[in-house]
Amino acid sequence: MDDLTGRCALVTGGSRGIGRAIAFALAAAGADIAINYRERRADAEVVASEIRRGGRRAVALAADVASAEEVKRLMATVELALGSVEILVNNAGVAWPVTLDTLDMSLWDSTIAINLTSAFLVTQAALPSMRARRWGRIINISSTAAQIGGIVGPHYAASKAGMIGMTHGYASLLAGEGITANVVAPAMIDTDMIRSNDRARPEKIPLGRFGHVEEVAEAVVMLARNGFITGQTINVNGGVYMN
C-alpha cells in the first residue's frame, strides 16, 4: 500500500457531508488537502482549520467546478498552495428529487453539468501533472442510483452512471502510466441530502440503517493507497445493490 504522506489531494465539494469526511480521512492518512467549495466558505474553512490543527497542510478554495475557467483557476491555486494534485476526489454533486412530470431540460442540463461534466473538467486539468509524475489516483464519487435508478430521478441516475463509464475510460487509458481511476458508489448515507428526501428510509436497506460518511471515506483512502485496483466500482450501500 502506498504511503500518502505529503501527497496533495483535492476533494471537490469538500465542505460538508461525504466530502468533508473524505478530506479528514485523507489528511489522517498523511495527505495535504485542498477543500473545494462553491458557496459554503465558512464550512470549508472549518474543515481546513481542523486539518491544519492535525498537522497537515490544508486550504479551502472556492470554485464552480462545472466551469472550465474556474477549474483552471482552481488548479493553479492548488499548485501554488500545496503542489500538483496527486489524489483527485470528484465528489461535488447535487441531487434534486423530482417527479417524471416535473423533470425538464433545465434540470437535466444542470445536473449533468454539476455531477458529471465537473468531474471531467477537473480530471482533465489534473492529468498533466499526474502523467508527468507517473503516479495518480482518480476517485469519483458516484451513487448506487447509477445501477438501480435510485430515488432522486433519471437525471441524477444518468449523471452518476456517466461517472462510472468515464472512469472506465480513464482507467483503461492510464493503466500503464501509474495512474488508477476508480468509483465509490454510496447509497443511503446519513447526510443532509438523504435527510431532506422523505423517500429515504432505513428499512429499505438490508443492513437496516443509514450509512456513515466515515464508511465512504474509508473506501476512498483504500483506493488512494492501493496501486493495483483500477476501473472498479466499490459499493458502499448496506446491501441495497450487490454485485
Q: Is 156 a catalytic residue?
A: yes
User: Quick one: cell of 227?
Assistant: 496501486
Contacts of 61 (CB under 8 A, 6+ apart): 34, 35, 36, 37, 44, 74, 77, 78, 81
Q: Rounded to 5 degrees, what are φ and ψ at 89?
A: -115, 105
**In this structure, are residues 70 and 9 in contact, taking their beta carbons and an 8 Å threshold?**
no
Q: Rounded to 5 degrees, what are φ and ψ at 81?
A: -85, -40
Contacts of 178 (CB under 8 A, 6+ apart): 133, 134, 135, 136, 227
Q: Which of 37, 156, 170, 241 is flagged as catalytic?
A: 156
Closest CA to 234 of 179, 163, 172, 177: 163
**Catalytic residue list:** 156
